[in-house]
């Protein structure tokens, strides 16, 4: 179950970052190339495959945006957690 605070482990952040890289760099490129190939072939007004690929690309962009937001929230939550776990000695008058 996901932590409602948005805090993710380092491993979870790594997996999320790798997934984003794959979706942004590989999957987006594959879909764009496929769309270009379809465009070059024929009339797009009746082309079901073209419209399907456009829908798939729009869906991919939405997923990328959601994952980016999740990653941003996790990084901010982790940063806030790390700040709250620090306890400078000078705050309590200890000098070591």
pLDDT digits (tens, 9 = 90+) for 32-60: 999 999 888 877 777 888 899 999 999 99
Chain Cα centroid distance, residue 77: 16
- Best CATH choice for the domain 10-82 from the list 1.10.287.180, 3.40.630.30, 3.40.640.10, 3.30.70.20: 1.10.287.180
| Cα separation, 47 vs 33, whole angstroms | 16
What residue spans of the chain are helical by DSSP H? 10-21, 28-41, 48-84
Q: What is the DSSP letter of 44?
A: S
If pLDDT is split at 50, 70 and 90, which confidence band does 61 have?
A: very high
- Residue that wins the pLDDT comparison between 38 and 20: 20
Q: Which of 15, 29, 30 lies closest to 70, judged by CA?
A: 15
CA distance 96 to 90: 9
Instruction: Considering only residues 34 and 6, tell me which one the structure prediction assigns the higher pLDDT.
Output: 34
pLDDT (0 to 100) of residue 27:
97
- Indicate the domain borders of the chain: 10-82
Reported as a pLDDT band with limits 50, 70 and 90, residue 93 is low
């Amino acid at each position: 179950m996901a932590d409602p605070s948005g805090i993710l482990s380092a491993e979870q952040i790594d997996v999320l970052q790798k997934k984003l890289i794959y979706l942004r760099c590989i999957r987006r490129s594959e879909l764009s190339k496929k769309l270009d190939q379809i465009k070059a072939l024929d009339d797009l007004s009746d082309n079901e495959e073209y419209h399907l690929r456009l829908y798939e690309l729009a869906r991919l962009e939405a997923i990328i945006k959601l994952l980016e937001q999740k990653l941003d929230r996790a990084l901010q939550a982790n940063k806030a957690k790390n700040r709250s776990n620090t306890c400078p000695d000078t705050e309590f008058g200890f000098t070591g």
